[in-house]
Amino acid sequence: MKLHEFKFELPEELIATHPARHRDESRLMVVNRATGQFEHRMFKDVLDYFAEGDVFV
């Protein structure tokens, strides 16, 4: 990876200044490391990506 690959425009109005009222409604971006595809989900779906015995810190 190169540092310049991480440069992007982020409009000020898209930066959260406080947490969502219902935290499980926060947006979640998931990348499939095998295919490189991105998926946009809600944080309430995060458990869909864990297997039994996984640890989330």
Q: What is the pLDDT of residue 48?
A: 94
pLDDT of residue 1 exceeding 90, the answer is: no
d(CA 1, CA 21): 36
Among candidate residues 48, 41, 43, the one with its CA nearest the CA of residue 23: 43
Q: Which residues pair with 28 in a beta bridge?
A: 41
CA distances to 5, 7, 8 from 42, rounded to whole Å, are: 26, 25, 23
Cα maximum dimension of the chain: 39
pLDDT of residue 40 exceeding 90, the answer is: yes
Q: What is the pLDDT of residue 14?
A: 87
